Amino acid sequence: MAKLVHLKTVYDERGSLTVLDRIDELIPFLVKRIFFINAFLDVVRGGHRHRNTKQAIICINGTCTVSNHDGKKQEDLVLDSPEKCLFLETYDWHIMHEFSSNAILLVLASESFDVSDYIYEPYPDVSA
C-alpha cells in the first residue's frame, strides 16, 4: 500500500525549507526520472499502475488528493504540504484529482518512461 512520510522542514521568519537530504536513504529506489505536473481544476491525472516503476509524489505547491488502490484496499490521501511525500509501489493503481488552482506535483520515478510499463485497468471493486 502507498506510504506517506513527512519530510524534514525548517521554519523561520523567511518561510520554510523542505529538504530531501540523504536521498539514497529517504527514497527507497534509485531515481531515474523526475517530472512536474501542473494541473487545472476538475481534471484527473494518473489512472494507472506500473509493471516496474515506483514513485514518490510531493505536492510542492497547492493541494491535491491521491486516490490509491493496491488490489485489496482503496484509500484517499490529501497532499496539502511539501512536507508530505507519498511513496507508490508498482501495484498501486492511482489517480490524482481535486487539484487546487495552484497545484504543482513533483514526481520522482524509479524508471525512465516506457509506455509498456503502464497498466490502465483498475482493480475490481473489492466491496462487491
Active site residues: 48
51 close to 93: Cβ distance less than 8 angstroms? no
**3-state secondary structure (DSSP) of residue 23:** helix
HSE-up of residue 13 (Cα within 13 Å, Cβ side): 0
**Cα separation, 115 vs 56, whole angstroms:** 19
